Chain A
């Protein structure tokens, strides 16, 4: 069966809300508008305004409110219309949600999901196009996941909602409308995916490519191109930014001896930087080439279509880097 990511998220929310009355959905336009991106479509009608709560445009206020409700034992799912707006409320994610279990010596737990689209969409400019995975991924006390496919979206959202800790759930606007094949197992109401585990999307032997969210699709396309040139790439869908599945990444690099990381975010202090450092620290002796990072450009997102394309990783960027680490690229100087 084919399923869109939007439907996967919607069905996961619906099933979890049906199973546990403590779960409520809150955010801007989640109710009567049916969700800015229609992820919550139909839920107001099904669960009523007590459990599908439209808020005013006051991120700091409603994020604090939802976090307080989680202290009390409810299980809020808080939607940010985009994670760009969550910066208004980031104090509550970090100081009120992530740290409270630790600061209270275990007295208070914070079972809450912060979800919404993250990263670049198309043509929405600098303030609406940014990846927050490295921001939240650096904070102990938070769990951070970033689904790619419909299977990821369903399994990880259900796991996040059932998790007893605060989970930041990073979606991608451009994936909402994409369809993926899903198995019967994925459609089962009991289906969940483990937080903290990566998925090998495509096995390979020559180079490891790590990616998350929309970039997994790019990495898979790059692997197809590379296959035509006799490079068998292994593509890892990271799925969980924190905890990071270091052992799966290490196991893959031990096999391929080469690593390219891919992400849409800024290059400096990014997810790729962490993966690179981790691999160098733990299995340096297995590397046959320097680790390469493919990232968004180190600039605020431009609006013009040509510049925006240059600011984001493209499939050919991944192909080029993979060939470089396999020493199969032809240097420009040599070509001339």
Chain B
């Protein structure tokens, strides 16, 4: 029975600040376990493929990969609905996928093609899917947090029972505007969850070199917080479900997700000058979010090792097919240079580099 209840323990107890932590027992089912496995391995495959596309020069500019952190995106989605909002920074591919975005839209956007989720005009850092409650995709470190608090403000203004998850890294956790926004969220009891994805390095700066107190779940002072094992999808799911209820009743809460990125900060960073290879391989061996689920599935005899390998093989195929399809998508039409500047352009003229040669009437 794929819907039978299985109870699992989170890897670690939650550490809490100003709030009673939720239970370590989490209910799941064979179906959910298999979905988690499928979703996380698909995300990982997508990011590995993006790495190759970048090295093949098919992806330009900045590209920040999420492999290692998959349990945060997947666990969070398991606890909420698409009416709840998510906003994040530039490491956004897998958040988009979690919100129901497709592989083709992702790869097409990464390669700047017209079938990209932002029609090729956003790039790696600017994925959006408003109809599923995903508000980007932001390139200025920390700026997405007040924007997310604004989404929560709007949810409360419209008297809806939805919440917003505003995600940021340990680097952004020191930004002043984060505390400004948190203050207002707490003053006005906004249904906001601040999700600090602590992967322990803001670019190449270790958390202890940037933060006097790297206990980010406590940094809200009067705002409650939880420290969560972000490599354990069940801990993430439990914490997010708890946080949603808390936020609807009491206002903001901080979830610090203890996680890890296997890749460097971005594609120009080998990720090995400021941390040791032993540290990375140690996390892979002991805390990998996919391996944790694999062992649970095997321990409960839900699928065999071979069946799980088949899922991974299938992911590889699905990802390759999506890349092929994305490659077939043409570059944006040159006329797209002048679309979406405004919703209402008043028919005003906008200029290209040589205004005598290139100008357009804004729609």
Contact = CB atoms under 8 A, between A and B. Distances in A.
Are A and B bound to each other? yes
Contacts of A164: 342-344
A60 B117 contact: no
B85 A102 contact: no
A68 B140 CA distance: 14
Contact of B157 (A50, A62, A194): A50
Interface residues of B, number: 51
B306 interface: no
Given A91-B143, A101-B343, A61 B181 contact: yes
B122 A104 contact: yes
A73 to B, nearest CB: 7
B126 interface: yes
A96 interface: yes
B146 A68 contact: yes
A164 B346 CA distance: 12
Nearest to B339: A106
A56 B157 contact: no
B120 interface: yes
A56 to B, nearest CB: 6
B123 to A, nearest CB: 8
Interface string B317-354: 00000000000000000000001111110101110000
B183 A58 contact: yes
B264 interface: no
Which of A95, A100, A140, A143 neighbours the largest number of chain B CB atoms within 10 Å of its CB?
A: A100
B155 interface: yes
A92 interface: yes
B181 A69 contact: no
B150 A56 contact: no
Contacts of B344: 163-165
Contact of A95 (B122, B139, B148, B177): B139
A133 to B, nearest CB: 17
A195 interface: yes
Interface in A68-111: 68-74, 91-92, 95-96, 100-109, 111
Interface in A123-181: 140-141, 143, 163-165
B121 interface: yes
A148 B140 CA distance: 35
A209 interface: no
Contacts of B87: 68
A140 B350 CA distance: 9
A213 interface: no
A64 B155 CA distance: 15
Interface in A158-217: 163-165, 194-196
Contact-residue bracket for chain A: 35 or more
A101 B146 contact: no
Contacts of A143: 342
A65 B178 CA distance: 11
Interface stretch (B129-137, B197-205, B219-227, B270-278): B129-137
A315 B166 CA distance: 52
B14 interface: no
A24 B154 CA distance: 10
B187 interface: yes
* Chain B CB within 10 A, most for which of A73, A96, A163, A196: A96
Contact of B154 (A64, A73, A105): A73
A101 B128 contact: no
Contacts of B136: 100, 103-104, 108
A107 B139 CA distance: 17
Interface in A270-288: 281
Interface in B120-175: 120-122, 126, 128-130, 135-140, 143, 145-151, 153-155, 157-158
7 contacts: A58-B177, A58-B184, A74-B157, A95-B143, A106-B119, A107-B117, A165-B343
Interface of B: 85, 87, 116-122, 126, 128-130, 135-140, 143, 145-151, 153-155, 157-158, 176-177, 179-181, 183-184, 187, 339-344, 346, 348-350, 355
Given A60-B146, A65-B153, A68-B151, 16 more contacts: A60-B177, A61-B183, A62-B184, A64-B149, A64-B150, A67-B150, A68-B149, A70-B150, A71-B150, A72-B154, A74-B154, A101-B340, A103-B137, A108-B135, A141-B341, A246-B349
